[in-house]
Amino acid sequence: MEKFAVQGGRPLSGCLRIQGSKNAALPILAATVLAGGQYSIQDVPHLTDISVMLEILTTLGAKSNHEQSVLTLDTSSLFSSHIPVDLMGQMRSSIFLMGPMLARFGEVTIYPPGGCAIGERKIDLHIQGLKALGANFTYFEDHIHCSAKELIGADIGLSFPSVGATENIMMAATLAKGKTIIRNAAKEPEIIDLQNFLNRMGAKVCGAGTAVIEIEGVERLEAVSYKVIPDRIVAGTMLLAACMTGGRLTLENIVNEHLTGLIDIVKQCGVEIEYAHDIIIVSNNVPIQPVSVVTGPYPEFPTDMQAQLMAFLALSKGTSVIRETVFDGRFKHVEALKKMGAQINIMGKEAHIQGGTAFKGAEVNATDLRGGAALVLAGLAASGTTFVNQVHHIDRGYERIERQLQSIGASIKRIQT
């Protein structure tokens, strides 16, 4: 196992290029199943979730090479539709393979997907959507078998704008007969990136970024080259790292409008933000004002920034409230933040954060990807040294976070335990 040793109290300053988006790259990798051929995908970050997705694809017969941030992938000779159970259980995004496998092979066997323990991770909306396209599901004790002689376009209404379900249905519908409409679709930027990738492959998808996505099925798709959008959650995490340490940080390779929800909040807290084309400059040397925030589907405040914001608001001059509406178990980082000195009360879906904290270094355990990142942020702002254990959670979404932070002045080391 490995842990981070974080020496706090150093302002973070300098320039950092933001990595490609994990949550855009993962469905795009799944979509390469839709058409055999040689893909070249730029700005794919080196993360454990990406490695697991590539391991699944190579187990199914693909060939891949991931050097620097360019990924070449050949899915011409996929020979199996049976996703290995041990790999399926390592991350949530393995479920994204259901739609593409169904479209290419007419069947797929899936096991319960893994992913962060941040609440119930149901897949009923995925199943509802694929059933509407004509898929049959047979349930066994430990797996589900899904098959379809052919996929027929359908009008599908989602009870919740699920990101994964929207992506699964989009991908399957590209090769269905006729037109599919997805209503109450997720609007995240990663959905738009998937639409752009699918259309580059020859699909006919429109409406991504709005609540209604239309897909006109086509006969075949082809392998292409593509560049993944920047990771808005990594950008937001680094932005808050600068805010919490009183630094002045330039972030490159960002899309400003993807950060609107977060930037509106940090501006309310008094942070100074300067924009340019694809860079943002953050400097904070004023007292942080408290705010009330509700997480929600894009463009509302992102649930993936909730833990990091909580660490930031612990430093504010007053009481803040964060209401988590997307996941029902996403406060697991609170105990560790309290161990570092934060004063936080959980009342149902709400966290009440009493500001004025001066974080103190402690030994804490990461419980999930974004909760772990929040503990690193608190360590950067703390007096003394913080040890963050279970850093494999953080490696799922941040490419060598310690190197990124070291490059802007942080004192953080990865230690084998």
Least Å from the CB of residue 409 to ligand EPZ = 26
Contacts with ligand EPZ by CB under 6 A lie at 22-23, 26, 92-93, 116, 119-126, 160, 162-165, 186, 303-304, 326-327, 369-370, 397
Using omega within 30 degrees of 0 as the cis cutoff, is the peptide bond preceding 11 cis?
no
Closest to ligand EPZ by CB, 119 vs 318, is: 119
Closest to ligand EPZ by CB, 245 vs 303, is: 303
* Rounded CA separation 32/11 (Å): 42
Closest to ligand EPZ by CB, 250 vs 390, is: 390
What's at 152, amino acid-wise? I
Least Å from the CB of residue 120 to ligand EPZ = 5
In order of 99, 117, 259, the CA distances from 228 in angstroms are: 21, 26, 16
* CB-based contacts of 67, cutoff 8 Å, min separation 6: none
Q: Which of 390, 328, 338, 385 is nearest to 362 (CA)?
A: 385
Q: Which residue is nearest to ligand EPZ (CB)?
A: 164
Closest to ligand EPZ by CB, 36 vs 261, is: 261
* CB-based contacts of 140, cutoff 8 Å, min separation 6: none
Task: Report the first-to-last Cα separation within the chain, whole angstroms.
Answer: 6
Provide the token pair at 55. 């391991």
Least Å from the CB of residue 66 to ligand EPZ = 18
* Rounded CA separation 379/386 (Å): 5
The SS3 of residue 45 is coil
Q: Between vectors from CA 378 to CA 413 and to CA 358, what angle results, nearest 5°?
A: 125
Provide the token pair at 265. 């909040």
Our answer to whether residue 206 is catalytic in this structure is no
Strand partners, 388: 4, 364
In order of 22, 80, 81, 279, 344, the CA distances from 60 in angstroms are: 21, 5, 7, 39, 46
* Burial bucket for residue 106 (CB in 10 Å: 0-12, 13-18, 19+): middle
Least Å from the CB of residue 337 to ligand EPZ = 17
Closest to ligand EPZ by CB, 122 vs 403, is: 122
Closest to ligand EPZ by CB, 312 vs 327, is: 327
- Catalytic residue selected from 15, 116, 243, 269: 116
Least Å from the CB of residue 351 to ligand EPZ = 17
Least Å from the CB of residue 307 to ligand EPZ = 9
Q: Return the active site residues.
A: 116
